[in-house]
């Protein structure tokens, strides 16, 4: 069996999505984040990095 060592990133929701534009809320929800301080693991791809760059005031990358 071969294991794939695909790179991943941990994304943490650090601020509330209340009073943010609807597009930001959709992006946060599509990442799978629902609660503040929730952390999700996603593949380290350009699309997920783009999500984080669009709303850097709401998200943080966790080590």
| Position 3 in a domain | no
Q: How far apart are CA 38 and CA 33, in angstroms?
A: 7
CATH code (residue 28): 3.30.1390.20
Q: Which of 46, 63, 47, 61 is nearest to 13 (CA)?
A: 61
Q: Which residues of the chain have pLDDT under 70?
A: 1-4
**Domain span holding position 52:** 8-62
pTM for the complete prediction?
0.86
pLDDT of residue 63: 86
For residue 32, the SS3 value is: coil
| Position 45 in a domain | yes
Per the structure, how many domains does the chain have? 1
DSSP 62: E
pLDDT of residue 1: 55
pLDDT of residue 25: 97
| Position 49 in a domain | yes
Strand partners, 60: 12
pLDDT of residue 40: 98
């Amino acid at each position: 069996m071969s294991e794939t060592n695909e790179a991943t990133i941990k994304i943490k929701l650090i601020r509330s999505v209340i009073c943010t534009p609807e597009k930001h809320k959709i992006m946060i929800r599509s990442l799978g984040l629902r609660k503040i301080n929730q952390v999700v693991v996603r593949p380290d791809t350009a699309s997920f990095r783009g999500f984080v760059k669009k709303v850097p005031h709401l998200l943080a990358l966790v080590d």
